[in-house]
Structure 1
């Protein structure tokens, strides 16, 4: 197991309230992608804020600062990625990841069976920079943390573009693709900032990028985003 990085983590701004996050998703049309009404989003957000005010909910779910997420079956990564923005440039999925929406939650990282849910205790995982996904996954599990899904990572950057920084980007290894024989595909998804080289094209320099890395490879500029838990309810 590699040593934890000594690089100082940048303080990531706190998330807006669930109601503010709901309004952001409505502004971007995510409710239409997910076939939800604006009332669905707003009522869920209001209920989440009421739960945050309860001491028991805060203790068990992390409450304050939770991310409002749409289930990936309702809003897949291919539909969410173009909603990302950095320097006015839209996000994109790399050309060799046309199967991005087939990357599904690992056991232990599955979202609630509900169209909307909250993700608590988010961490970008800077301290695990230069670890491989194969090394990071069991370490997160040993800490009682769950790796973020790709769609959750996209939701996070949609709400807080500042969470994506050059040289401090992150992997979302809760989402993996299974082959026909049940084995995991060696690709692991990540979100970072394009250099505008190769097939990305110069016009995409500094644009947010959904791509992948090999499960056994290390990258000094990629941490491993994780959370303490997920919870949801029907709308």
Structure 2
């Protein structure tokens, strides 16, 4: 007759551990709204836990008027790092972050190459200091090649056009009108979102945008909508400060930290 062993704790299932990992970051301290497709999100977390692998996050990092890094960028990187630290507390393998530097969007908006390279080099250096990886979006698109191109994209929804055109009115310096820029931007994103999901299968796509722009993000990846600098703030750090002037190739207008308001 077999006797049950006493004093030995039952090993938690992958689902139980995954739930703890999910609750570590899926809180209102970090998320700005509920994640899209929570079942797929849970599946990704469960797989990482079962395999003892880091939970992988990828996110776009853009470029605004500045050509140099600012305190808002550092605050955002630290905020993301804080979320990763929460995950490490309950998941031994921790989390891995890749910032996708959107050089294609910066060129589309008319930023000079020197400014793009200088800013993204500074971001990459600070990201590396925090254990984050970086890559260029142009590289992902090139690697995906024709695989990322499809002819079945749905027309851009009117509310998305309205939102993108409003943003283009502030930041687009390319040829044509703001609406022209918005339409071209949408077309770019349809290819880029497929390149991202090809490059990062099994990862979570985190974004500072809201679900209104869901159509711009990878279709087969779980989307985590999060704050950028702290709870209640979702403004992209590269667009701060709000009154920052655009840097030109021969004239850097980046404000020093001492000149920035508290």
The structure richer in strand per residue is 1
The structure richer in helix per residue is 2
Normalised to the residue count of structure 1, the TM-score between the two structures is: 0.31
Normalised to the residue count of structure 2, the TM-score between the two structures is: 0.29
